[in-house]
Amino acid sequence: ALAALRGHQRRALLLRRMVAAEPPSPSSSPRQGRTKEERRKGVGSAKSVAETAPEGVFGPPTLVAAEPRLLEDVIAGGPPPAAEALQPDYLRRAARLKDELASAVVLGIETSCDDTAVAVLRGDGTVLGQDVASQHELHEEWGGVVPSIAFEAHKANIRTTQENALADAGLTMADVDAVAVTVGPGLEICLRVGTEFAKELCAEHGTPFMAVHHLEAHCLMARLGLADEAPAFPFLALLVSGGHCQMLLVRGLGRYSIIGGTIDDALGEAYDKVARMLGLPATNGGGPALERAARAGDKTKYPLPVPMQQRPDCDFSYAGLKTSVRNAIGKLRRQLGEEFADPEVPLPEQVVNDLSASFQDSAIKHLEQRLRRALKRLAASGGEEDQIKQIVLAGGVAANQELRARMEALCEKHELELLVPDPRLCTDNGVMVAWAAIERLETGQICLPDDQQVQARVPMGTALELES
Can residue 116 be called a binding residue for Zn ion (CB under 5 A)? Answer: no
428 belongs to the binding site for Zn ion (CB under 5 A): yes
Gap between the Cα atoms of 337 and 332, Å rounded: 9
Q: Is 108 one of the binding residues for ligand KG4 (CB under 6 A)?
A: no
Which position among 271, 318, 359, 435 is part of the footprint of ligand KG4 (CB under 6 A)?
271
Q: How many residues bind Zn ion (CB under 5 A)?
A: 2
**CB distance 144 to 12 below 8 Å:** yes
Q: Count how many residues are written for the chain.
A: 468
In this chain, which stretch among 263-271, 280-288, 398-406, 428-436 interacts with Zn ion, using CB under 5 A? 428-436
Q: Which stretch binds ligand KG4 (CB under 6 A): 68-76, 343-351, 394-402, 445-453?
A: 394-402
> 228-247: which residues touch ligand KG4 (CB under 6 A)?
241-243
Q: Does 284 bind ligand KG4 (CB under 6 A)?
A: yes
Specify whether the CB–CB gap between 318 and 265 falls below 8 A: yes
Closer CB to Zn ion, residue 266 or residue 308?
266
Stretch (H or E) spanning 96:
helix 88-99
108, 268, 297, 430: residue in contact with ligand KG4 (rule CB under 6 A): 268
d(CA 466, CA 38): 25
What x-and-dash track marks residues 411-430 binding ligand KG4 by CB under 6 A?
----------------xx--
Work out how close the CB of 323 gets to ligand KG4 at its nearest, in angstroms, rounded to a whole number.
18
Q: Which is nearer to ligand KG4, 18 or 43 (CB)?
A: 18
> Furthest-apart CA pair in the chain: how many Å?
78
Strand partners, 211: 181
Interaction residues for Zn ion, span 221-280 (CB under 5 A): 241
Across the strands, what pairs with 130?
119
Quick check: 105 and 122 in contact, CB under 8 A?
yes
Scanning 122-130, 171-179, 396-404, 453-461 for contacts with ligand KG4 by CB under 6 A, the matching segment is 396-404
Which residue number, 392 or 399, has a Cβ lying nearer to ligand KG4? 399
Reply yes or no: is the peptide bond before residue 421 cis, omega within 30 of 0: no
The burial class, CB within 10 Å (0-12 / 13-18 / 19+), for 415 is exposed
Per CB under 6 A, which region of 189-197, 322-330, 395-403, 455-463 contacts ligand KG4? 395-403
Helix, strand, coil percentages for the chain (3-state, nearest 5):
50, 15, 35
129 binds, among Zn ion, ligand KG4, none (CB under 5 to 8 A by kind): none
* Minimal distance, residue 184 CB to ligand KG4, in Å: 12
- Helix (H) / strand (E) element for 184: namely strand 178-184
C-alpha atoms less than 13 angstroms from C-alpha of 446 in its C-beta half-sphere: 26
> Does residue 397 interact with ligand KG4 by CB under 6 A?
yes
Distance CA(19)–CA(318), nearest Å, equals: 15
Q: Does the protein bind ligand KG4 through residue 361 (CB under 6 A)? A: no
Comparison of 67 and 269: residue with beta carbon closer to ligand KG4: 269
Number of residues that bind ligand KG4 (CB under 6 A): 21
Examine residue 116 and tell whether it contacts ligand KG4 (CB under 6 A): no
Stretch that binds ligand KG4, among 155-163, 197-205, 269-277, 383-391 (CB under 6 A): 269-277
Q: Which does 399 bind (CB under 5 to 8 A by kind): Zn ion, ligand KG4, none?
A: ligand KG4
Counting Cα atoms < 13 Å in the Cβ hemisphere of 374 gives 30
Q: Is 109 helix (H, G, I), strand (E, B) or coil?
A: strand
Q: Is 111 in the site for Zn ion (CB under 5 A)?
A: no
Nearest CB to Zn ion, comparing residues 113 and 176: 113
Q: From CA 204, how far away is CA 349, in angstroms rounded?
A: 55
Concatenating the DSSP letter of every residue in 35-66 gives -HHHHHHTTTSGGGHHHHS--TTT-SPPSSSS
Contact between 179 and 198 (Cβ < 8 Å): yes
Strand 115-122, strand 105-110: pairing: antiparallel
Determine if 182 is a binding residue for ligand KG4 (CB under 6 A).
Answer: no
Cα separations in angstroms, 312 against 40, 370, 461, 463, 467: 35, 9, 22, 16, 10
Residue 429 interacting with Zn ion (CB under 5 A)? no
- Asked whether position 285 contacts ligand KG4 by CB under 6 A, the answer is yes
Give the one residue of 400, 443, 452, 462 binding ligand KG4; rule: CB under 6 A: 400
Q: Which of 22, 131, 216, 272 binds ligand KG4 (CB under 6 A)?
A: 272
Binding site residues, ligand KG4, CB under 6 A:
113, 241-243, 268-269, 271-272, 284-288, 291, 395-397, 399-400, 427-428
Binding site residues, Zn ion, CB under 5 A:
241, 428
